[in-house]
Amino acid sequence: METAAAPSQADLTAWLGARPFDDWRAQFDRDGFLMFKNVLSAQQLADIRAALAPHLEQDITGRNEFEGRKSNRVYALLAKSPVFADLATHPLALSFVEADLGADCLLSACLAINLHPGETAQPWHFDDSHYQWPRPRPSLGVSAFWAIDPMTTTNGATEILPGSHLWTDDLIPGAAVEKDFAQGGAALAEGEGDHEDAVKAVMPAGSLMLAKGSLWHRGGANRSDTPRLIITPQYCPGWTRQLENMVLAVPPDVAKDLPERAQQLLGYSIHPPFMGYVNGRHPKRLME
């Protein structure tokens, strides 16, 4: 795996302040998550909402309890607007992603999740569970949670279990099981799966939470009268398989108009020495 160069403190000062990047990383390694408030501007939020509007207006709801039967999910976002490429390549998020996963990391998934009033709590899960490697182990992913709407105690703010990225393979109460991915699965009962040490990621619109891929978390129940919208780019090491097949979701004729870093994250790139080639050549040649 390539080792990413340390980010410039000056480039990140607006978000990290005077605290050294290595201190933030130590906190990330200890707790499994970080939160940064008010990262995106009002104009950036408006552009994101405008790009998502025609897709959310279709009101396609989840197929099971994991997706959320009163939630909208919009996948393959980089195929829908370049504003999502800007979000996936945001320097604050990528500084931690590349430090954890290497400079040749990939975008594993990038989706919007819109929780409507009445949505129930999601089953607990961790985002790199599909790799099925025994825990405890290093995380094989980093997930970003961008708050497009404010995340509050009542509207379904993501709930996290600090330090749980270091736990063993034991399932926890309320964890996702096979029925949660089936169309006929039942929702969690009120209070089922609640953990007294859980933390709600309460933050204003435009804020960012980063979580290790092995951190237990869930979407909260929306007990408010308004929806709660987030966008979650999820990243993986360059030598692992992405959750979404990005080169089909964002084919070359679309990817060619995106920034080079976004192209690389999608998979139009090489994990040294030559993993990811196409017909013996670098995949970026497909966009020429």
Output the DSSP codes for 197-239.
T-EE--B-TT-EEEEETT--EEPPPB-SSS-EEEEEEEEE-TT
pLDDT number for residue 6: 42
Cα–Cα dist 155/219, whole Å: 10
* Whole-angstrom distance, CA of residue 6 vs CA of residue 251: 31
Name 199's bridge partners. 160
> Residue 34: CB partners within 8 Å, gap ≥ 6?
24, 27, 28, 96, 209, 210
The overall average pLDDT reported for the chain is 93
What percentage of the chain reaches a pLDDT higher than 70? Answer: 97
The most distant pair of C-alpha atoms in the chain lies apart, rounded to whole Å, by 55
pLDDT in tens, 233-256: 999 999 999 999 999 999 999 999
In 3-state terms, what secondary structure has residue 30?
helix
- Give the count of beta carbons closer than 10 Å to the beta carbon of residue 242: 18
The CA–CA distances, whole Å, from 105 to 134, 163, 180, 241, 271 equal 22, 23, 29, 11, 8
Assessment of whether the complete model's pTM goes beyond 0.85:
yes
CA distances from 10 to 25, 120, 147 (A): 16, 42, 25
Residue 283 to residue 285: CA distance in whole angstroms: 5
C-alpha angle with apex 130: 77 to 64, nearest 5 degrees? 65
Question: Percentage of residues in the chain with pLDDT exceeding 90?
Answer: 87
Asked whether the beta carbons of 142 and 235 are under 8 A apart, the reply is yes
Q: What is the pLDDT of residue 10?
A: 57
Query: Is 116 within 8 Å of 56 (Cβ atoms)?
Result: no
Please name the residues in contact with 277: beta carbons below 8 A apart, sequence gap of 6 or more: 270, 283
Q: For position 9, what pLDDT does the model report?
A: 56
Low-confidence ranges of the chain (pLDDT < 50): 1-7
pLDDT tens digits for 151-209? Answer: 999 999 999 999 999 999 999 999 999 898 887 777 777 778 899 999 999 999 999 99
What is the structure's pLDDT at 4? 41
Residues 55, 240: Cα–Cα separation, whole Å: 30
Nearest of 120, 118, 47 to residue 84 by alpha carbon: 47
CB atoms within 10 A of CB 111: 17
Tracing tokens 């933030």 back to the chain, one arrives at: 24
| In contact, 7 and 91? CB cutoff 8 Å | yes
Tokens 């393959």 sit on residue: 76
